[in-house]
Amino acid sequence: MIKKFQSPVGPISKIVGKSIVLIGDDIDTDRIIPARFLKCVNFDNLGQSVFEDDRKNLKGKHPFDLKSNKGSSILIVNSNFGCGSSREHAPQALLRWGIRAIIGESFAEIFYCNCIAIGIPCFTLPKKLVKNIQENKNINNSLCEINIQESTFKSTFFNFDLEIKNSSKNMFLSGEWDATSTLLANKKLIEKKINDLPYTKFNQSNELFETI
């Protein structure tokens, strides 16, 4: 049975999983999720369509189709990843395929923000180091661990320091990246507010509002 998809929630301090390497600069969001998949009522099926056209062209040889990459959660990319259209569908598709963190030389700004909003931390590394990792034959055989507090990447084969903006780091550690949770934390204040508003009282007699 396919495991039910679960969005990240709350504070994120650690990501553990296998790494998957995707090589190429300027991979845009149209390639990550082609425009025709935007006509949808949910993001649920986007996972299977991630890189759809690229994958079709490579006939099973695309990294997202290789057996050895199955179940991976840390994506290693090159520069300007996620450029182009601002669609949130792109990180959503990656997330639903199983990606929980991305390491790359650089990211497009909107893509980076969209990733934060849905709980995917993105880290940067110098070009050379990314290349080293991407060329390592053992990369997808070992379990890796990203520690956000310490900004480190550890695995059986190599350990190195990652770079992440301080503000982003704090958002993940505190859980504030997830606006819903941050807002929900003030549950008591919200309930007090609804009771204090003048109009919740005088609208109580009408059917629509009565169940407050």
Partner 1 sequence: MSKDTLFDKVWDLHKVSSLPGGSDQIFIGLHLIHEVTSPQAFGALKDKNLKVKFPSRTVATVDHIVPTDNQSRPFKDNLAEQMIETLEKNCLEHKIEFFNIGSGNQGIVHVVAPELGLTQPGMTIACGDSHTSTHGAFGSIAFGIGTSQVRDVLATQTIAMNKLKVRQIWCENKLSNGVYAKDLVLHIINKLGVKAGVGFAYEFAGPAINSLSMEERMTICNMSIEGGARCGYINPDEKTFSYIKNKLCAPKNENWDEALLWWKSLKSDANSIYDDVTKIDASKVEPTVTWGITPGQSVGINQKIPLLEELPPDDQFVAEEAYEYMGFKQGQSIKDTPIDVCFIGSCTNGRISDLRVAAKVIKNKKVSQNVKAFVVPGSEKVAKEAKIEGLDKIFLDAGFQWREPGCSMCLAMNSDKLIGNQVSASSSNRNFKGRQGSPTGRTLLMSPAMVAAAAISGKVTDIRDFM
User: Could you say which residues in the range 21-50 bind partner 1, by CB under 8 A?
Assistant: 39-44
Question: Residue 144 burial (CB < 10 Å; 0-12/13-18/19+)?
Answer: buried
Give the interface segment with partner 1, choosing from 24-32, 64-72, 76-84, 191-199 (CB under 8 A).
191-199
Q: Judged by CB under 8 A, does residue 197 bind partner 1?
A: yes
When binding is defined by CB under 8 A, the residue of 9, 23, 35, 143 that contacts partner 1 is 9
CB of 44 vs partner 1, minimal distance in Å:
6
Q: Judged by CB under 8 A, does residue 60 bind partner 1?
A: no
Strand ordering across the sheet containing 122-124: 19-21, 74-76, 101-104, 122-124
Cβ proximity of 51 and 105 under 8 Å: no
Query: What phi and psi, each to the nearest 5 degrees, are found at residue 75?
Result: -95, 130
When binding is defined by CB under 8 A, the residue of 7, 138, 141, 149 that contacts partner 1 is 7
User: How many CB atoms sit inside 10 A of residue 109's CB?
Assistant: 11
Question: What gap in Å lies between CA 25 and CA 42, rounded to an integer?
Answer: 29
CB of 15 vs partner 1, minimal distance in Å:
18
Segments of 63-135 assigned E as strands: 74-76, 101-104, 122-124
- The SS3 assignment for 115 reads helix
Q: Which CB atom, from 96 or from 125, has the smaller least distance to partner 1?
A: 96
Q: Which CB atom, from 35 or from 183, has the smaller least distance to partner 1?
A: 183
**Binding interface with partner 1 (CB under 8 A):** 5-7, 9, 39-44, 88, 117, 174, 176, 179-180, 182-184, 186, 189-190, 193-194, 197-212
